[in-house]
Amino acid sequence: MSDDEKEALPASEPAPQVLKNQSVVEASASSTVTLEYYKAPYGKRVMAFLLDLIMMLLLALGLFAGTRLLIEKSDSYISAFNTYVSISEESGLYVYHETEDNLVTITTYYEDKTYEEQNSLEEAALTAYYKMDKFFDQTDPKSGIALYNSQKIGDSRIRASDNLNYFVYSESDEIVANPDYTAEQIHDFYVTAVDNGIQYLNDLDEYVSATRTLSQWINFIIIPVSVCFSFIVFEFLIPLLFFRRGWQTLGMRTFKISLITSEAISPRFKTFSFRFLWMFFVELIASSMTFLVPVIVSFSMMVFRKDGQCFHDYMTGTYMVDTSEQSIYLSKNERAFLLKKAESTEARTDLLFPDVKP
């Protein structure tokens, strides 16, 4: 790497200082010791982030499956799920698919049949559905089967804006499929008609209550718990338990990136904890509610700031550095001890074979 490509880490204290040659310097009364830490390259940081992200997603998926199995045993979830399944099957618009072990729409369930067979089965299901008192007020002249027929013919028919006429009146004044259309074209009508029918299920209070309960369990408990726990494991627990020197995640460890303070040492636990909490509450949770604004700001800071600090690093005075050729000191005392030991070793004069060079 050339000197032009190396970025210096700025300092907020008199010592250590950051000089123009990109070296962090610790001054003492007797000598000056140079410590070089260079900004972690963007490519390595992105690769480390992606590796951590992939592992977090894999763990989150496993947690999602495990948490859902536990939640599905709760009384409220079981009650809501049974209500949802019962109403869906009763409508005739959903069928239990044994292979998928799940409810599927009739358009999906019958897709292996010919278009003529599909159209016939779906017409029967939709007609029965719109005649059910449970779902439609049959005393209302605009509801029930009349509502279904309005989707077939008239100004509010399906695909009227495209000037399509899937159905026409016969000589006996009955609504029949347009003979000018193929069975495949008519099937396009039924696909839309089934989707419309499913939307009317939301007019039933029981169905709405059941789907809302299931949605709340999945969207506000199972998914958040899985994602948050996975984030805590890879961004906090792994560095805390295994890589406290430089507080490395698995991605950082793989690509030899470490975290330091402006004093050129590994951050204290208090600093690392504050950094994690900022990432967790501002860049994870707040981003989920603000269209990723904090994440975008943090990434922009990393790209455009000379020192490469993200939002959380800027707030905690920490820096991501390349440690492919050197390690990180845990404390000032460790740094002073090791540097003093190195100086005393260099000062020895009893070297054997001093003229032999590698």
Spacing of C-alpha 312 from chain mean position: 19
Q: How confident is the model at residue 128 (pLDDT cuts 50, 70, 90)?
A: very high
CA angle, residues 265, 250, 310, in degrees to nearest 5: 55
Structure tokens belonging to residue 128: 């029965």
Distance CA 335, CA 328 (A): 9
Q: What is the mean pLDDT of residues 126-148?
A: 94
**pLDDT at position 1:** 44
Q: Which is more confidently placed, 337 or 242?
A: 242
Handedness of CA 93, 98, 103, 109 (dihedral sign): negative
Round the average pLDDT of the chain to a whole number and report it. Answer: 86
Q: How confident is the model at residue 26 (pLDDT cuts 50, 70, 90)?
A: very low
Structure tokens belonging to residue 307: 């020192």
Q: For residue 244, which amino acid is it? A: R
Is pLDDT of 15 > 70?
no
Contact predicate 136/130, CB 8 Å: yes
- The domain segmentation of the chain, as residue ranges, is 81-209
Q: Which is more confidently placed, 217 or 235?
A: 235
Distance CA 13, CA 265 (A): 13
pLDDT in tens, 172-198: 989 999 999 999 999 999 999 999 999
Distance CA 24, CA 272 (A): 21
Q: What is the mean pLDDT of residues 207-213?
A: 92
pLDDT in tens, 219-258: 888 899 999 999 999 999 999 999 999 999 999 999 999 9
Is pLDDT of 280 > 90?
yes
Handedness of CA 232, 234, 238, 243 (dihedral sign): negative
Q: Report percent pLDDT > 70 for the chain.
A: 86
- Nearest alpha-carbon partner for 183 in 122, 140, 139: 122
Q: At what angle do helices 75-91 and 205-217 cross, to 10 degrees?
A: 130
Map residue 319 onto helix, strand or coil: strand
Distance CA 42, CA 306 (A): 12
Q: How confident is the model at residue 340 (pLDDT cuts 50, 70, 90)?
A: confident
Distance CA 182, CA 185 (A): 5
pLDDT in tens, 322-334: 998 888 888 888 8
Residues 6 or more apart whose CB falls under 8 angstroms from that of 23 comprise 34, 35, 36
Residues facing 175 on adjacent strands: 169
Model pTM? 0.68
Distance CA 341, CA 117 (A): 87
Is pLDDT of 2 > 50?
no
Cα dihedral: 285, 290, 291, 296 (round 10): -80
Is pLDDT of 293 > 70?
yes
Q: For residue 32, which amino acid is it? A: T
Is pLDDT of 10 > 70?
no
Strands (E), the chain: 17-18, 24-27, 32-35, 38-39, 94-97, 102-105, 167-169, 175-177, 257-261, 318-322
